[in-house]
Amino acid sequence: MTVYLSLAGVLFLIGLHGFFTARNLLRRLLALNVLTTAVFLLFVVMARLAEPLDAVPHAIVLTGIVVTVSTTAVALALLVRIAGRMRDEDTDPAAGPRGGAG
């Protein structure tokens, strides 16, 4: 169990480091996901440590995964829009809105 506990700790640190150092927006989002995974791992270890086996942390992690999938989807949607806007500005600022002239 110590292995898993320390793994959760290491994952948390990796995520935290990535979050604060990455310049790439997608990398920051992934670092955040690593961070969340570390917390989920901690919950699962808690469940295993309990005597008898505790089901509540499992329910929590399942719900947490659903929440993380949703937040990641929203973040990705926002990211795609930001990236699209930056690409437009990079290539030709005078070109006007996309699909404007047929």
Partner 1 sequence: MIPGTAGPVVLFSLPLAAAIVVFIRPRWSVPVTLGTGAVLLAVALWLVGVVLQQGGWRQDIGGWTAPLGIGWNVDGLSATMLLLNAAVGLAGAAFHAARPAPPATARDPRFFWPLWLFLWGGLNALFLAADLFNVYVALEFVSIASVGLIGLVGGSAQAAAWRYLLATLLGSTIYLLGVALLYGRYAALDLALLAEGVEPDLVTAVAAALMTLGLLLKAAIFPLHFWLPAAHGRAPPAVSAVLSAVVIAAGYYLLVRLWFGPFAPLLGTGVATLLGLLGAAAVLWGGLLALMQRHLKMLIAYSTVSQFGYGLLVFPLVAAGAAHPAWAGAVMLVLAHGLAKAALFLAAGAIILRHGIGRLEALGGDQRGAVVAWVAFAVASASLVGLPPTGGFVGKWWLAQAALASGGYFWLAVLMLGTAFTAAYLWRALQAAVEPGWESGGEPPTLSPALGLGALLLALSAAALGLAAPLIARLLDAGPGVSG
CB of 74 to partner 1, least distance (A): 5
CB of 60 to partner 1, least distance (A): 6
Q: Quick check: 35 and 8 in contact, CB under 8 A?
A: no
CB of 102 to partner 1, least distance (A): 17
Tell me the three-class secondary structure of 33-86, residue by residue: HHHHHHHHHHHHHHHHHCCCCCCHHHHHHHHHHHHHHHHHHHHHHHHHHHHHHH
User: Given the rule CB under 8 A, which residues bind partner 1?
Assistant: 12, 19, 25, 28-29, 32, 35-36, 38-39, 42-43, 46, 49-50, 54, 56-57, 59-60, 63-64, 67, 70-71, 74-75, 78-79, 81-82, 85
Cα dihedral: 22, 24, 26, 29 (round 10): 30
CB nearer to partner 1: pick between 50 and 95: 50
